[in-house]
Amino acid sequence: NDEVISSDEEFEINYKLIIKTAEGISIPAKWFKESVSTIDEFLLLIHKKTIILTKDNTLLPTDYNVAFKVPKETGAGTQLSDGQDFIKFKTKCLKLAAKKQ
């Protein structure tokens, strides 16, 4: 039973950014902590960090996909591409944070 969460409600998230290049090379993962309220804001932060970690200033957001999964979840994860995905992502993050308290 998912609680309805506003898409513009700010929340704090700790996440691990994992980057795998098109050639299959994995770049060492890095943890980040952010306060975000919209998918555009979150994807912009991820894009800036991806450029820094890959050292590729020519990288465009269309050059890669962003997906999320909660700890112990199997599979590739859920693509994070629109507002509905972001609301689901926030719901999962908030539930996980509540369990840790």
First CA to last CA distance, the chain: 20
- Phi (first) and psi of residue 8, to 5 degrees: -110, 10
Per the domain annotation, does 2 fall within a domain?
A: no
% of the chain with per-residue pLDDT over 70: 84
Between the alpha carbon of residue 32 and those of residues 6, 16, 24, 55, the distances in Å are 23, 6, 23, 18
What is the rounded average pLDDT of the residues 12-31? 87
Scan for tokens 């050292």, then name that residue.
55
Q: What is the pLDDT of residues 69-94, one digit of tens each?
A: 766 666 667 778 888 888 888 888 88
Count the domains in the chain: 1
Longest Cα–Cα distance of the chain, Å, equals 42
Domain holding 58, by residue range, is: 11-100
Q: What is the DSSP letter of 20?
A: E
d(Cα 71, Cα 91) in Å, to the nearest integer?
14
Per the domain annotation, does 85 fall within a domain?
A: yes
Per the domain annotation, does 52 fall within a domain?
A: yes
pLDDT higher than 90, residue 9:
no
Q: What is the pLDDT of residues 32-61, one digit of tens each?
A: 999 998 889 999 999 999 999 999 999 998
- Single pTM value for the model: 0.74
Per the domain annotation, does 38 fall within a domain?
A: yes
pLDDT higher than 90, residue 13:
no
Chain-centre distance for alpha carbon 85: 10
